[in-house]
Structure 1
Amino acid sequence: MEEGKDRKEKPKVVVLGQPTCLASLEQLYSHKFNFLNPETSNLSLQHFLTLHQPSSILAILCSTRSSLNAPVLRLLPSLRLIITVSAGTDHIDLHECRRRGIQVAGAGALVSEDVADLAVALLVDVMQKISARDRCFRTQHHAIPWDFPLPSKLSGRRVGIIGLGRIGMEVAKRLECFGCIILYHSRHQKKDVSYPFFSSPIELATTCNSLVLCCALNEQTKHIINREVMLALGKGGFIVNVGRGGLVDEKQLVNCLMEGEIGGAGLDVFEDEPHVPKELLTMNNVVLSPHCATFTAESLMNMCELVEGNLEAFFSNKPLITPVISVE
Structure 2
Amino acid sequence: MANKISVGEDTSDLNFTPFDNGLLQSSLLPRASKQSYTKDTDVCMYDTQNLDHDKAMNDCKKRVAAYLRECYNYVHQELDEKLFNDFIMCNRGTYAFVALVGSLNKHLIKSGQITQFTLLSDRMSVVKPLLDVFINYLSNLPAADENELRLIRGQQAERTWLCRFQNSIHVEVPEYNPDGLESWLKSQDAGLQQKAKDYSEKIFTVLKSRILEKLQDVYGDTWESCINDIKKECLKRIITLHGDEEDFDLQEIEWTDAIDLNDIKTIIERHWSQIKEGDTSFVPFKKEFAIQVNESFSTKAEKLTWLSDIIKFTKAISDPKGKKLSPQQVDEMELIYGSLNPEA
Same fold flag (TM > 0.5)? no
Structure 1 or 2: more helix by fraction = 2
TM-score by length of 1: 0.30
TM-score by length of 2: 0.29
Higher relative contact order (CA 8 A, sep 6+): 1
Structure 1 or 2: more strand by fraction = 1
